[in-house]
Structure 1
Amino acid sequence: MDSDQNLCLGIDLGTTSVKISIIDTATKDQVFTTTEATNAYISSNDGIQGAEQSILLIMDAICACILRATDKTRSNIGCIAVSGQMHGVVLWNSEGKTPLSNTLDLASFTSNLYTWEDRRATTQFLLSLPKPDSHQPISAGFGNVTLFWLARNEPELLVKYDTAGGVMDYLTTLLCGLDKPVMSNQIACSWGYFNCQTGTWNLNILKDNGFPVHLLPVTVAGGSKVGELCADWFGIRRGTPVLSGLGDLQSSFMAASKLPNDAVMNISTSSQIGFRIDCPGFSPPKQDVPAPVSYFPYFDNGYLAVAASLNGGNILKAFVRMLQQWVGTLGLTIHEESIWLKLTEIASYPEIAEEFSRPVIHPFLYGERYNPNLTASISGMREENSTLECIFHALCNGLVANLHQMMPLSLLIESGVERVVLTGSVISRQPHVMTCVKRTYSPLPVMLEIGAEASYGAALVAAKYLQVP
């Protein structure tokens, strides 16, 4: 690396947007950041059970973000790390090679991205699958579960492609010109049928049950180098190291956690709260079925204990859409942005003082991995507490209460957690959510970490790679 390549690039491929962070390798200060909505959702042949996104639109958003940095900034980038939505899977043909500046050609050899929200693998289908040799039980939306479903229901689709990976693995493969993707253990664990202790796929189990094992990527530890830029990329120099794709969960934790005894709560499209396990030789307990708390590989052979909810900002977005539809049914028009502004305003109004007089919302619109049959409900509703501000307060309260039910205050204290750090778009845009967290997790201190995005965490991982002798 040349001496002037003193910057690191972190890219986060989120569910609804792409964000990049460029930091100074030495000081870790952020010198540039930007975000671009992908608007990538497309209709699925399997209706509302399918959740698919256009790879072209995601890659276009990446290019748009990169081009906003100055030529000088791009030329000074010395390492690239990519994080992204976990569990999802994209398929492609390894013979397809195209520069990322020409995204239109990608469609000829790439499938849609099947996201973590995909629900075509029903409970009945999951029961038909073999048990994994892994501490991580399988669930709908996991990469290998989706591939199992495609193999059994749409085998004609799979014959078009010879490899698969997460969306971040797809990007690193294109950037480095690799013949086979290289996936970090962080993403492999979130796909299912991966043994974190041995660092290997459950190949025999998968083969014996008709799984297309030839599609599986090579696996490495999170933060490992997978290759180098095979060509200049918008001024980022050929030969720049590229690291294995990271989980947005781990990258967000890296960005937000400044002290070893921090718990981090992130509420974006979905929501999570977790803490680091610093026990040498820790082996996560094996779970036959999904539980509220799961264990994911972190860095340096560590783990995160995480309560990962499928319900987060997507619940608030669904509420906004519902309001918009109701108003439309009445023959009126209101823009989505206007609804968001009003909700943020009324969320600052005082809540009903007596807690027992407030409505209670259980926001399980998308179920949970540990119980896919959970549904949303509201109780305790009366005429005097049926105003929009009361309902929105209850919705925010419900999101935090759900995380607390999955990972209660008592568990944090028993595990040595000393404070809760908040991150994510919902936290930054809806101050009432922070109020709910402070009330729920008292007496632990609660603080907001500004700029603790997954893209920044990925950039920190890249900086750490460059600074290792």
Structure 2
Amino acid sequence: MAYYLGLDLGTSSLKALLIDENQHPLATAHAELKVQRPHFGWSEQDPDDWIAAARSAIAELRKEHSTLLQNVRGIGLSGQMHGATLIDADGTALRPCILWNDTRSHKQAALLDDDEARRITGNIVFPGFTAPKLLWLAEHEPETLAKMDKVLLPKDYLRFWLTGEAVSEMSDAAGTAWLDTGARAWSARMLERTGLNEGHMPRLVEGTQASGYLRKALAEELGLPAGIVVAGGAGDNAASACGVGVVAPGNGFISLGTSGVLFTATDGYSPAPETAVHTFCHALPGRWHKMGVTLSAAGSLEWLSSVTGTKPAELTAELPQDPQGPSRVLFLPYLAGERTPHNDAAVRGALIGLAAETSKADLTRAVMEGVAFSIRDCAEAGGGIAALNSLIAVGAGSRSALWLQILADVLQTTIMLPAAGDFGAAFGAARLAMCAAEGTDTTQLMAAPPIARTFEPDAHRAKEFDAAYQRYTAAYLPIRELSL
């Protein structure tokens, strides 16, 4: 039997997932990652930590499944998007990677974000995107930039380690502000505007295509066959879409990871950058997707966990699990600024309505509701909640049935939870590995998972949450003024 390996490079951990030719997940392994925040608004990771994490996760799989690893036919990659990883001519990282949630380049993003950029890229140039980070480096670290041979996205640094090839793919490249997203090619004009040229860029492939082959010396170390194909893969959200079968127009999912995403697939290119909804290439050839992003979803619960000393799962377990109306406490989850719909790197979060009797449980519920309201912001920017039919829920936050019910009531749409199993970004990456290794028909391969539970909106609660959402939207401008 043939096997396929998916590697998902997240912000807080790297995950390795092994599946068989029937798409049955067989084994997983994780390695934790840390984020460094040396200054306000900064967020960085050492790229060599990603390699150490990949080595650790694969070694963990090898302990119990060495025979299976010897029959792996392809590797797929998924990863956190937008990070600027600079390498020199020898392939050595020149500095820590500037991550997706780093907001230091907000002034540079504002300079790049004009009608020309939006016409070419199909998107607002957000501070988290890769291109403005290079302008910041040109101003603050010119000596580092002068040594740069190539700039890679995080998962593509792993690819470089695996194959020796500097390659990216369309879904991740669309989040750089250097891609002509409609043409699915690097834009010479956008590169010129940041002092670069195509020689500084990795070669582009589609997510289902071969991007390179595993190096012989590394294969022996990892216990994998030398020369197996490494697929183009995908950015984390496009990979998650492949994992849950959101590849046909109109299908969608909600991801409750560190950040939150509302993702819908399209088969045509129809950008609307003024909405602050991303229009990116999908991992599949000839397809695109729309994506609203809130920067702190499960990350908001992790923040509350850090200040209360209570694990996120324990916080949610302490809540009454029966559905209720909205909390009196209002939470704005702008812990790292906000992307959709505000494109605002300066705003910061707030808790409103605190009282002497406010409990830890009240704060937990307020955080969960605030994240749900921020995802409704994404839905309203993308055409309104009336356009939603049903959504699949993925990510760490989807383990909370209460949170999914709150989302159903706030979005006034059906939320579906996949059956027990692993259908996230690592699974999508493994599916893309199958495509590259076997030439499998993606329509048949990327089916939706079986659904374990469905959450339907309650009309009475939905009306109450609608009023609370109006209060949430009204709070943005006053809180922004106080954040400056």
Please give the TM-score of this superposition, normalised by the length of structure 2: 0.81
| Displacement of 1:205 | 4.2
In 2: Cα distance, 1:404 partner to 1:286 partner: 18
Q: CA deviation at 1:240?
A: 0.2
In 2, are the aligned partners of 1:396 and 1:432 still within 8 Å (CA)?
Answer: no
Deviation at 1:410, TM superposition (A): 9.6
Question: What secondary structure is seen at the aligned counterpart in 2 of 1:250?
Answer: helix
Partner of 2:334: 364
1:177 to 160, 164, 167: 164
In structure 1, the residue matched to 2:228 is 240
Matched-pair contact (CA < 8 Å) for 1:20–1:35: yes
Query: Match of 2:351?
Result: 378
User: 2:292 & 2:146 partners in 1: Cα distance?
Assistant: 37
Residue 463 of structure 1, aligned match among 422, 434, 437: 434
User: Does 2:63 align with 1:112?
Assistant: no
Mapped to 2, the partners of 1:340 and 1:208 lie a distance apart of: 43
- Aligned ranges for residues 16-415 of structure 1 at < 5 Å? 16-25=12-21, 27-39=22-34, 41-44=35-38, 47-69=39-61, 70-96=65-91, 109-122=93-106, 124-129=107-112, 131=114, 132=117, 133-178=120-165, 181-207=166-192, 210-211=195-196, 214-231=199-216, 232-233=219-220, 234-257=222-245, 260=248, 261-278=250-267, 282-287=268-273, 291-298=275-282, 299-323=284-308, 336=309, 338-340=310-312, 342-348=314-320, 355=326, 358-369=328-339, 370-384=343-357, 386-408=358-380, 411=383, 415=387
Helix, strand or coil for the counterpart of 1:42? coil
Cα distance, 1:368 vs. partner?
1.2
Q: Specify the SS of the correspondent of 2:414.
A: coil
Decide whether aligned partners of structure 1 residues 419 and 211 sit closer, same or farther in structure 2, where only a CA change above 3 A counts.
same
Aligned counterparts of 1:91 and 1:435: Cα–Cα separation in 2? 43
Worse-superposed segment, 292-301 or 147-156 = 292-301
Structure 1 counterpart SS, 2:40: helix
Q: CA deviation at 1:293?
A: 2.1
Secondary structure (helix, strand or coil) at the match of 1:128 reads helix
Task: Measure the CA separation in 1 of the matches of 2:381 and 2:417.
Answer: 16
Q: Please say if 1:425 is aligned against 2:410.
A: no
Residues in 2 aligned to 1:273 and 1:419: alpha-carbon distance in whole angstroms: 12
Q: 1:94 to 1:387 in 2, by over 3 A?
A: same
Q: Partners in 1 of 2:126 and 2:271 — Cα distance? A: 17
**SS of aligned partner of 1:367:** coil
Give the direction of change, closer, same or farther, for the CA distance of 1:196–1:341 in structure 2 (3 Å limit). closer
8 Å CA contact 1:292–1:407 kept in 2: the answer is no
**CA deviation map 1:89-133 (0-9, x unaligned):** 21112424xxxxxxxxxxx654322110111112x3323336422
Structure 2 counterpart of 1:328:
none
Give the superposition deviation at 1:161: 2.7
CA distance in 2, matches of 1:402, 1:115: 21
Deviations for 1:140-177, whole angstroms, at most 9, x for unmatched residues? 12112111211222110122331111111111122112
Change (3 A) 1:276 1:204: closer
1:100 maps to what in 2? none
Aligned match of 2:445: none
Structure 1, unaligned runs of 5 or more: 97-107, 324-335
Change (3 A) 1:445 1:120: closer
In the alignment, is the contact (CA less than 8 A) between 1:270 and 1:311 conserved in 2?
yes
Aligned partners of 1:296 and 1:354: how far apart in 2? 36
Aligned-residue identity in percent: 21
- Alignment size in residue pairs: 424
Query: Do 1:275 and 1:305's aligned partners in 2 also have CA atoms closer than 8 Å?
Result: yes
**Structure 1 residues 43, 443: closer, same or farther in 2, change over 3 A?**
closer
Structure 2: gaps spanning 5 or more residues: 441-484
SS in 2 for 1:48: coil
Change (3 A) 1:403 1:413: closer
CA contact (8 A) 2:292 2:378 kept: yes
Instruction: Say if 2:315 and 2:361, in contact at 8 Å, map to a contact too.
Output: yes
Distance (Å, rounded) in 2 between the aligned partners of 1:170 and 1:247:
13
Give the distance between the partners of 2:194 and 2:68, measured in 1 at CA: 50
Counterpart Cα distance in 1 of 2:73 and 2:295:
36
Contact 1:185–1:221 (8 Å) recurs in 2: yes
Q: Is the 8 A contact 2:50 2:158 kept in 1?
A: no
Conserved? CA contact 1:92–1:161, under 8 Å: yes
Alpha-carbon distance in 2 for matches of 1:38, 1:155: 28
Structure 1 residues 226, 305: CA separation in 2 closer, same or farther (over 3 Å shift)? Answer: same
Over 3 Å counting, the alpha-carbon distance change for 1:94 and 1:79 in structure 2 is farther
Structure 2: distance between partners of 1:294 and 1:410: 9
SS in 1 for 2:364: helix
Are the aligned partners of 1:272 and 1:308 in contact in 2 as well (CA < 8 Å)?
Answer: yes
Deviation of 1:42 after TM superposition, in Å, equals 3.0
